[in-house]
A and B are shown apart, each in its own frame.
Chain A
Amino acid sequence: MFGGFWYTGFPIELTQALVNKGTRKLTVIAQSVGVGNDLDILAENGQIRKAIVNYAFFPSPDKVTEFERQVRAHEIRCETYPMGTFIEKMRAGGSGIAGFYTPTGVGTIVAQGKEHRSFNGREHILEEALKADFTFVHAYKGDRKGNLLYRKAARNYNPEMAMAGKITIAEVENLVETGELDPDCIHTPGIYVQRVVKVERPTITFSFE
């Protein structure tokens, strides 16, 4: 699992480390693969077998990622979920909940093959929880206990993904001593985080089509 929405809150350094390590047959769970983040490098290296995403391709058909090419060539299996369902699967996975019923996706391709159940007269579908062997997150501040604090919209997927990782590795822009973070202001308690790595604050340049 990779936190981040586009490059905001995306673990750039940890992704590069995974590229360098060259681990293959990965299942990648992220907002997207290559649309506004570095995960297309994993596709270029042939490291991805399956992907679970919310936003698969560039809106423009003229801009094709290597990921998209491999999905079309059936080299990578791709599952897409509605954004709220996507992150709720991880919240459930990190919270000991096996699944949940949601009205989102009823009557669409997302509902195909899923259990349907009506609550208070409204149709819902069963979505199952999701966990990962490893989660990479990006935080603004972290301490040696693994307590994390995110900045503004860079929080996005990171807190629930941190919960859903068996091993969660956090790259932090500011590594502070234990006790420095105000306990009232911690977004991710350290119990969910197994490793903390200090990184430089990334420079994100925005280029729009």
Chain B
Amino acid sequence: MDGEETAGLTNELMALRAANELEDGMYVNLGIGLPTMVSNWIEGRDIVLQAEIGFLEQGPFAEPDAVDQDLISAGAEPVTVLPGASFFSISESFAMIRGGYIDAAILGALQVSEKGDLASWNNPARKISDCGNIGGSMDLAVGAKKVIVIMEHTTRNGEPKILKECTYSLTAKGVVDLIITDLAVIEVADDGLVLKEIAPGLTPHQVQALTGAELRISEDLKEVEL
């Protein structure tokens, strides 16, 4: 991009956009990393966060003087629970996830394909292909009713992360419903990717140039709604 800084949403605003996608009454699982920030934007709303380590009604991070070592999130951070919480085993936690009880999962990703394939667990830079950090990602990707990916639009080197085919080891095939990046909101439709919203100051042409798959421009394309 001629060395010019591209406009785009901050991580906080990407998280806010993802939070706006959630409806009241939903049971939601947030993946580790960037998706965790979505929790900052749903406080007070009727949305139940599931922690895959084994509880419902995850609350805000614990204050330093109120840390309970038996109460951590999937990202191993001390957290709190809200009224109405329940604790259970990881086996039951994944029964909920695979069983279709989780309305939405917001996950990070390394790559997403135009068919909704998700690659999120094995970065080839680690140079070890047959084992790694799968965590709960594969179960969430196939089990959640809606899968929302939140990630940077390109790698640090400016390479597209949205591609015709993923080149990294897959987490699941054909599971992603919506991609929220710093540059755009893209829906994974049956017939390909649809550019629905775009970050302020950008043109569809610029977003397409940073995307490795063809984007169909939505008839009601608008600026990202925050």
Contacts and interface: CB of A to CB of B under 8 A. Distances in A.
A17 interface: no
A80 B131 contact: yes
B72 A208 contact: no
B155 to A, nearest CB: 15
A36 B78 CA distance: 14
A153 B51 contact: yes
B73 to A, nearest CB: 8
B90 A109 contact: no
Contacts, number: 151
Given A55-B134, A152-B87, 9 more contacts: A5-B90, A8-B69, A8-B70, A78-B130, A82-B139, A83-B138, A110-B134, A187-B89, A202-B69
Q: Which 10 A-B pairs have the closest CB atoms?
A: A84-B94, A84-B139, A107-B173, A82-B138, A204-B69, A80-B131, A152-B70, A154-B70, A83-B136, A78-B131
Interface string B84-121: 00011111011101100000000000000000010000
Given A5-B53, A155-B87, A160-B91, A57 B126 contact: yes
A83 B142 contact: no
B157 to A, nearest CB: 16
11 contacts: A8-B53, A8-B72, A36-B76, A61-B126, A80-B132, A106-B142, A152-B68, A153-B53, A153-B54, A155-B87, A202-B69
B131 A153 contact: no
B77 interface: yes
B137 interface: yes
Contact of B70 (A9, A80, A109, A208): A9
B135 A83 contact: yes
A174 interface: no
Interface in A91-125: 91, 102-110
A85 B98 CA distance: 10
A54 interface: yes
A87 B67 CA distance: 27
A152 B98 contact: no
Contacts of B27: none
Contacts of B134: 54-55, 80-83, 110
A54 B136 CA distance: 8
Contacts of A157: 89-90
Contacts of A55: 133-135
Interface string A54-94: 11110101000000000110000011111111011011000
B171 interface: yes
Interface of B: 51-55, 67-72, 76-78, 87-91, 93-95, 97-98, 117, 122, 125-126, 128-139, 142-143, 169-173
Nearest to B117: A107
Contacts of A109: 122, 129-130, 169-170
A206 B78 contact: yes
A105 B135 CA distance: 12
Contacts of B95: 84
B91 A88 contact: yes
Contacts of A7: 69
B142 A103 contact: yes
Contact of B89 (A54, A82, A158, A202): A158
Contacts of B91: 87-88, 90-91, 159-160
Contact of B98 (A56, A102, A110, A154): A102
A6 interface: yes
Nearest to A53: B131
Interface string A8-31: 110000000000000000000000
A5 B72 contact: yes
Contacts of A53: 131
Contact of A208 (B53, B77, B89, B171): B77
Given A6-B76, A59-B133, A72 B70 contact: no
A71 B77 contact: no
Nearest to A203: B69
